[in-house]
Amino acid sequence: MIFNFRAIKIFTFIRFAPLFLVAASPVWADPVLFDNNPVIGIIDGKPILMDDIENAQTHELRVRLYQLQSQVLKEKIIREFTEAHPGAVQSKARTVTQADIIAFYEKTPRAKEMGSLEEMQGQLRAYLERIARAAETENKYQTALADGWARVMLTPPNDFKVVAPVGNAALWFKDGTPESRNVFVLEFSDFQCPFCKRVQPTLDKLRRRYGEDVQFGYRHFPLPFHKEAQSLAEATECARSQGKFWELQSVFYKKSAPDIKTKVLEHAKEAGIANIQEFKACWESQKHRDKVLKDISEGSQLGI
């Protein structure tokens, strides 16, 4: 049996007939360091660590918890340090002047877009004063740490790495395997997702910049509230059968209008698909429905 004493209390018994009084004085032993990967269970004699049950959702929650705990701990350190050492930090929050407001306004295009200097100066003053108070608070915190008055043992969760299966992803470079290049960018995407559409020009730039040094893969993740997204995903798989996956994928993102499904055959021709009748039969029969559903399933398991 292992006993883990975080604090050892020494009790002194003082006898005053007919009373017994107990005076307790806590004496802290060396602190037990915070463990961000503790043993949380045992299976058949084998310890199970926190990281062993990590997935995308739990990692996100642990990161958010760490951020909240860090902020609360920081506030506690500052509060108790200020009470115990009121004269340790002499600096006060810097007074915000009209010149500060004007300078900030002139250097911030976003502020100019929101209104004139006269209209914005109240908000800008409040914003700059918050920054000044935050700087004063940070100064107290850093002083407490530098003087050795406080130590922080809280650590963030370990890095979480997702091992994403390539599966049946469409590959940008058809030669070799995904492992044949040092970098492989795997995209899970939805043809009716505005954010997915927005990232396409960036991916195009990466392909032009890095050439064959980086492999790119595409897997489908149509969201349930995008009514036509799954059908469009199936259409690109039919185009893939004729070697035109990326061509139709590009057209769909460029023409992502609400009525895109009614123009699929038109877009297929634009993408250069030679046998439109074969493409139409493939698409209307939902030949590749299971392939798309598998992408959705594996993407969900990754926490996408």
Number of domains in the chain: 3
- Cα–Cα distance for residue pair 3/6, rounded to 1 Å: 10
Closest CA to 169 of 190, 145, 186, 149: 186
> Mean pLDDT in each 10-residue stretch from start to end of the chain (304 residues)?
34 35 44 79 92 85 94 94 81 83 91 91 93 89 91 89 84 74 90 93 93 92 93 96 96 80 91 96 96 93 80
Q: What CATH number is attached to the domain comprising 229? A: 3.40.30.10
In a domain, 98, yes or no: yes
Range of the domain at 256: 170-301
For residue 129, the model assigns a pLDDT of: 93
For residue 53, the model assigns a pLDDT of: 85
In a domain, 115, yes or no: yes
In a domain, 59, yes or no: no
Residues 142 and 174 in one domain: no
Residues 142 and 243 in one domain: no
Residues 225 and 292 in one domain: yes
For residue 229, the model assigns a pLDDT of: 93
Residues 22 and 124 in one domain: no
In a domain, 154, yes or no: no
Distances (CA, A) of 264 to 28, 108, 248, 270: 72, 45, 9, 10
Residues 134 and 178 in one domain: no
- Cα–Cα distance for residue pair 57/55, rounded to 1 Å: 6
In a domain, 138, yes or no: yes
- How far does CA 42 lie from the centroid of its chain? 30
